[in-house]
């Protein structure tokens, strides 16, 4: 089972700053993953609050989820608590960003969470989610 966890404002994908994030909705991304990986089992969660995201990560640990694909949104750049949650759990976490955070404002270049992750996908749009899932599927092969 893989958890695909999305943070604040990602529920607005499709209409949110389309020049930066495209017009693909979160529902489109989730449907694409189900289509691309028919043999995988997914849990999809999105939350705007930090505490709920932490609870989702703890539940992934308790439920022995195999891997987490996590787009922490704006909390990427601020949240020590989310980083601590990622570091506290057993399932490996891949951080995903639709946009290339390294090519944008200076404050987006730092991820507080990436050092606790296996790696980071940034700038591949919705394909970044597929690439992250592919990594987990390859690990299992």
Site for ligand DQA, rule CB under 6 A: 9, 71, 73-74, 76, 97-99, 101, 108
Least distance to ligand DQA, CB of residue 127, Å: 12
DSSP line for the chain: -EEEEE-TTGGGTTTSSHHHH-S--HHHHHHHHHHH-TTS-EEEEE-SSHHHHHHHHHHHHHTT-SEEEEE-GGGGGT-HHHHHHHHHSSS-EEEEESS-GGGS-GGGS--SSGGGSSEEEESSTTHHHHHHHHHHHHHH-
Q: Which is nearer to ligand DQA, 73 or 91 (CB)?
A: 73
Q: Which is nearer to ligand DQA, 82 or 90 (CB)?
A: 82
Least distance to ligand DQA, CB of residue 116, Å: 16
Least distance to ligand DQA, CB of residue 112, Å: 12
User: Residue 3 and residue 41: Cα distance in Å, rounded?
Assistant: 9
Q: Which is nearer to ligand DQA, 2 or 101 (CB)?
A: 101
Positions marked active-site? 21, 97
């Amino acid at each position: 089972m893989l958890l695909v966890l999305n943070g604040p404002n990602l529920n607005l994908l499709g209409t949110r700053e389309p020049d930066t994030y495209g017009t693909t909705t979160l529902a489109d991304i989730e449907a694409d993953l189900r289509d691309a990986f028919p043999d995988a089992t997914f849990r999809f969660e999105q939350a705007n609050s930090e505490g709920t995201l932490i609870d989702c990560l703890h539940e992934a640990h308790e439920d022995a989820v195999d891997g987490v694909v996590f787009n922490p949104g704006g909390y990427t750049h601020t949240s020590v608590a989310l980083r601590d949650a990622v570091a506290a759990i057993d399932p490996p976490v891949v951080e995903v960003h639709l946009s290339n955070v390294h090519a944008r404002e200076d404050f987006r270049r730092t991820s507080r969470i990436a050092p606790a992750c296996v790696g980071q996908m940034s700038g591949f749009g919705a394909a970044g989610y597929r690439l992250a899932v592919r990594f987990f599927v390859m690990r299992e092969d």
